[in-house]
Structure 1
Amino acid sequence: MKVKMKIVLAFFLLIISNISHSESAPTLFDANVIPHASVISHEDCFSGVFSSYKSWKEEMVFGKGIKELAFQQRFPESDFNQYKDTVQCYSFVYEVEQHLVKGFVLYPKGLLNEKLPSIIYNRGGNNVNSHTLKFGNLFFYHFPLALEGNVVISSQYGGAMVWPKNFKGNGGVDEYGGVEVKDVLALIPILDSMPITDPNRIAMFGWSRGSMMSLIAVTKTNRIKTLVLGATPVDLVLSAINRPSLEHDVFKRLIPGYEFDKLALLEERSAIYWPEKIPKDISILMLHGTNDERTSIVPVFKFADTMKSLGVNIELKEFPSGSHTLIESKVSVYRKVLSWFNEHL
């Protein structure tokens, strides 16, 4: 069963990690779409190879060797057409302290006179291209949540490998919970500039590394009303012990000064060491599989208990035998997430 699950996950990673908008031609820039001054360009997600289901499928099947039936099962044509017809989706480039960052923003069409809640989605992974957000990733949460009447926005984070080979600009750096947290916080004024957003209803939704980013971010702003966190690494000190490959391939490579001050740098990124910094008026939903082989649930129990003792409205939803991605429970996970946002946002 484990082998089968790994095959399924490998397929999903392959299918969502091979095509991005990084080398497609930009559309004519219209400052009214995302009117904040930091946004310097944007393009419709449904452009280029993504302009039709047929062209996307052909690229994946004939260009990437993906089985046609598997592609159609994961990305039904009916979903593609519904999202294209009802959700406005843009990839965009914005500037943060003189470096450029890529992101996505989605919102329902036809609701331009309403004030909608916003969800900042923080992705997992690190700076390698296969971990960055691709068009296929948006089918997991971005499109469904936008379809429900939310503005959904995401950052690729500075330092991400999302730029074409001939890119000569400053793409920032990824410090795995360091300076690139500013790239997430910079999304708030972008949301504020959009006439369809309600400035009093902003949530954050993170998975894995993205949950860590979310917890750090809420200690630096009072604008976030609620958090949804999946597979949260609340104790990176423990993660370094449990996963030597994570320490070698990510922590040592991305965190500046790691070899000189390892403990302090990991604690700075680990919410279990500073629970008192998290706003007491925020509500938090944590989702975690009991069989998560990448991020142990054990410190999450302790963290949730500590937050409760501090008076924070927090719920930990366990998924027995659940994996790191909880992809095997994706329907129940999405329903829980949607229910939480409907109640708390």
Structure 2
Amino acid sequence: MRRIYGYIIGVALLGGMATGAQAAPEAKRQIGYDDIAGGKLAARSVYGLRAMEDGEHYTTLSRNGDVLRWRYADGALVDTLFRRPEGFPQVSDYAIGRDGRQMLLTTGREPIYRHSSRADYYVYDRTTGDLRPLSVGGKQQEATLSPDGTQAAFVRDNDLFVVDLSAPAADGTFVERQITHDGVRGSIINGIPDWVYEEEYSFARAYEWAPGSDAIAFYRFDESGVREYSMNTFRGGLYPENYNFKYPKAGEMNSVVGIRIYRFDGDSIVDVDLASGADSTDIYVPRIEWAATGRDGDGARLAVHWLNRLQNHYRILLADATTGATSVLYEERDPRYIERIDNETATFLPEGRGFVVKSERDGWMHLYRYDMAGRLQNRITEGAWEVTALYGIDAKRGRVYYQSTEDSPLGRGIYSVGLNGRGKRRLSAADEAGTHTAVFGPGYRYWIDYFSNSETPTVVTLRRVADGGAVRVLEDNAALRGRIAAEYTLPRKEFFTFTTPEGTTLNGYLLLPADFDSTRRYPVLMTQYSGPGSQQVTDKWGWSWEAALVREGILVACVDGRGTGFRGAEFRKCTYGNLGGLEVQDQIAAARYLGSLPYVDPARIGIYGWSFGGFMALNCILKGNDVFALAVAVAPVTSWRYYDTIYTELYNGLPQDNAAGYDDNSPIFFADRLKGKLLLAHGTGDDNVHIQNSYEMIERLVRAGKPFEMAIYPDKNHGMGSSRDHLLRRAIEFVKCGL
């Protein structure tokens, strides 16, 4: 599910609420929506740096499509690896072979869904200067170079192809070898994911080169049994057209997934055994990766990450690349669910030295080290805090680099620790409270520190790994800080906690105007997402549209209720099987708490949300109709029966087993409770949360005779695209007039 929400951050973090009116300097002005939408308060950052294998250099893509090489130590431009010829298509992405000779250039990209696209790829040989199209048979998907740089692979029309880059044909084109021949739209997919895998497991390339470039492991999806969803598309035509795609809704049939290995030596394909003692083929494979299994050069095996349909039983299967036979390397169960499997769940060490697992088996997300026989060697991290990112493992020095909530769940710090769990060291500065994220280069000589907090726009610093010392500042946003000081009086952000009637302590923040007057009674708009594992109450820089309401005399509040992330598994998983139950209780409790404050008007409290947040906003104004006077619900889920299998069943189980969990909190069943003002917005081209959700809500509201406002955006997807600005301006006016 797309998590659409913005952080609403001011620049003054004070310990207590102000008393009395405070006049803002006349020369400055409070921020408005145009300032936020126009990026006038957005912090500059450093994007697109790609570390090279030597650990001393990095590359960037210039605006005109050149690929440049730079030196970490002093930031000097070393050379130009590719200079775009005049008339050549604009380059949007690139990849460099391990030996640095071949480059793969992406042009003409056409988006499909959230992560996927089609494009025209070109191969540039830096030795000869030859620049050739990878294929002349039509746009390709997910082209990659082989590890040795002599071949490339891509997907076209649901089939997997390989190209030998060392032997172009006489006419200068590359000769394609078609690996699979059964790809059919709506039926069989090879090498790319189906819709639900792409959306929920966040990948668009469903194949992996073997380290020796002698094999390719790939997914095969049989989605012939998956039911289709049909969307009208308008695009200004006389007659609308239907766009159909396979979308498995909760409790319905998924694609049957298989993992296959193509071997170059025998031009053959073997099927990986995914059963491995399991009694069902109704499973998920959220990741595959190649793993070294020994130091004696016995090659690599394929690690297959396996989940049952309920996603509470997780295995790592180790597959023989020749026969496809598998054995269970690692196994974990949870009474509710296993947290999302991603690229950091298991990290294999080189030369068969074992692997590191990220697991919350003790109630907190931590790191554990195993050998290649699947035996636990030691814990790496431990405590009542969570590892939030695993940045890398330097196997040579035996060090692990990670991000965590060790100081506070509202911030992030960067640390390193030995693979043996000893010798932990803080890499981010102890006196820089807030949010640090990091990028580590090969060889672990340098790392880039991205730091911000509610008072500090992003500062990007290149640092040494050895001692954490700064090499140079890449971006300090001095210009932004100067502009703010000269032109704006920003809202104040106050963090707070409160305890619900059930005894749960929740984190929140309030945005107050610079001229806050504690003797007034202000209306409040609560903004939230509230989905499982999400977090909005964080100490970092950033602005969202809601902040424009502050100058209109409307306070903005946000509270992370139960089910949100980074406070341990129990806090997050207590909502399992009852999505929207405890979450709505907590937002209603938060509204009551805010309404009890002497400077808040309890009769003028509204709530806003998008996607899961829209589901919450609807439920809050319906079930909390004595508390909320207004709601803005954008692209809401109105019944979890309408949403996809992977996301919904992870948190709510199967509807066949848990009807109450699906229906007791569906807003379509509570439309008759509406008392306040409601703005409901949706895009007709939303492939994620289908407009069916809002149409059903509209029907129930009409039946109940309830007035409401609606905004329908033709052909717009879940993010609303070019209509987003129109929607947000409409929301601002709706809140101003409604509160």
Structure 1 length-normalised TM: 0.71
Q: Distance in 1 between matches of 2:481 and 2:701?
A: 43
Q: Distance in 2 between matches of 1:60 and 1:83?
A: 30
Residues 203 and 168 of structure 1: CA distance in aligned 2, closer, same or farther (over 3 Å): closer
Equivalent residues in 2 for 1:321-336, closer than 5 Å: 321-326=715-720, 328-336=722-730
Alpha-carbon distance change, 135 to 144 in structure 1, aligned in 2, over 3 angstroms: farther
- Per the alignment, residue 633 of structure 2 pairs with 229
In the alignment, what sits opposite 2:699? 305
Q: Shift in Å at residue 340 of structure 1?
A: 0.6
Identical residues among aligned pairs (%): 18
2:671 is the alignment partner of 1:275: yes
Cα deviation code 1:112-152 (max 9, x no counterpart): 14322111222153225xx5454569622342233432111
Q: Cα offset for 1:169?
A: 10
1:248 paired residue number? 649
Deviation digits for residues 234-286 of structure 1 (CA, Å, limit 9, x no counterpart):
121122xxx1112233323xxxxx6774222211121223322x23x322101
Select the residue among 483, 490, 505 that pairs with 1:100.
Answer: 505
Q: 1:275 to 1:171 in 2, by over 3 A?
A: closer
For 2:642, what is the secondary structure of its paired residue? helix
Unaligned residue ranges in structure 1 (runs of 5+): 11-16, 26-43, 253-257
**Equivalent-residue separation in structure 2 for 1:236 and 1:57 (angstroms):** 41
Shift of 1:295: 0.9
SS in 1 for 2:489: helix
Deviation at 1:24, TM superposition (A): 5.1
1:231 maps to a residue whose letter is: A
> Within 1, Cα distance between the matches of 2:509 and 2:487?
15
For the residues of structure 2 that align with 1:83 and 1:171, how far apart are their CA atoms? 41
Contact 2:509–2:558 under 8 Å retained in 1: yes
Q: Is the 8 A contact 1:237 1:263 kept in 2?
A: no
- Per the alignment, do residues 77 and 334 of structure 1 end up closer, same or farther by CA in structure 2, a change over 3 Å counting? farther
CA positional deviation for 1:53 = 3.9
Following TM superposition, by how much is the alpha carbon of 1:4 offset from its aligned partner in structure 2, in angstroms? Answer: 9.4
Aligned residue number for residue 181 of structure 1: 584
Distance 1:249 1:146 in 2: 38
Structure 2: stretches of 5+ with no match in the other structure: 1-109, 117-198, 203-388, 390-402, 413-432, 436-450, 469-473
Q: Secondary structure at the match of 2:459?
A: helix
Task: State whether residues 531 and 564 of structure 2, in contact with CA within 8 Å, keep that contact through their aligned partners in structure 1.
Answer: no
Alignment check: 8 A CA contact 1:117 1:202 kept:
yes
Separation of aligned partners in 2, 1:327 and 1:61: 37
Does 1:150 pair with 2:554? yes
The structure richer in helix per residue is 1
Structure 1 counterpart of 2:679, which letter? L
Tell me, yes or no, if the aligned pair for 2:530 and 2:564 is still in contact at 8 Å: no
SS at match of 1:90: strand
In structure 1, the residue matched to 2:420 is none
Which residue does the alignment assign to 2:597? 194
Cα RMSD for the two superposed structures: 4.0
Kept in 1: contact 2:668–2:697 (CA 8 A): yes
Shift of 1:94: 2.0
C-alpha distance in structure 2 between counterparts of 1:115 and 1:60, whole Å: 47
| Structure 2 counterpart of 1:57 | 459
Deviations 1:14-56 (A, max 9, x none): xxx999862559xxxxxxxxxxxxxxxxxx999x9425545x2
Structure number with bigger Rg: 2
2:528 to 101, 122, 147: 122
Tell me which protein shows more strand as a share of its residues.
Answer: 2
Distance 2:614 2:627 in 1: 17
Mapping of residues 131-146 of structure 1, within 5 Å: 132-134=536-538, 139-146=543-550
Q: Could you state the TM-score of these two structures normalised by the residue count of structure 2?
A: 0.35
- The AA in structure 1 aligned to 2:645 is P
Give the Cα separation in 2 of the matches to 1:330 and 1:124: 21
Q: Secondary structure at the match of 1:324?
A: coil
Asked if 1 retains the 8 angstrom alpha-carbon contact of 2:411 and 2:434, the reply is no
Amino acid at match of 2:690: S
Secondary structure class of the residue paired with 1:86: coil
Task: Work out which structure has the larger RCO, using CA pairs closer than 8 Å and 6 or more positions apart in sequence.
Answer: 1
Distance 1:123 1:136, change over 3 A: farther
Deviations 1:145-193 (A, max 9, x none): 3343211112211142234xxx899788334212232211111232123
C-alpha deviation, 1:199, in angstroms: 1.9
Q: Do the aligned partners of 1:235 and 1:270 also contact (CA within 8 Å) in 2? A: yes
C-alpha spacing 1:223/1:53, structure 2 compared with 1 (3 Å)? same
* Rounded Cα–Cα distance in structure 2 between residues aligned with 1:23 and 1:322: 34
When residues 117 and 251 of structure 1 are mapped into structure 2, their CA distance, relative to the original with a 3 A threshold, is same
Q: Is the 8 A contact 2:411 2:538 kept in 1?
A: no
Kept after mapping to 2: 8 A contact 1:205/1:211: yes
Equivalent residue of 1:89, what SS? strand
In structure 2, what is the Cα distance between the partners aligned to 1:107 and 1:141?
A: 15
* 1:22 equivalent in structure 2: 409
**Alpha carbons of structure 1 residues 328 and 91: separation in structure 2 relative to 1, 3 Å:** farther
Match of 1:110 in 2: 515
Structure 2 counterpart of 1:2: 111
State the shift of 1:84 in Å.
Answer: 8.2
Q: Which residue of 2 aligns with 1:39?
A: none
Say how many residue pairs are matched: 295
Question: What SS is found at the alignment partner of 1:269?
Answer: coil
8 Å Cα contact 1:208-1:233 kept in structure 2: yes
Alpha-carbon spacing, 1:259–1:310, altered in 2? closer, same or farther (3 Å) = closer
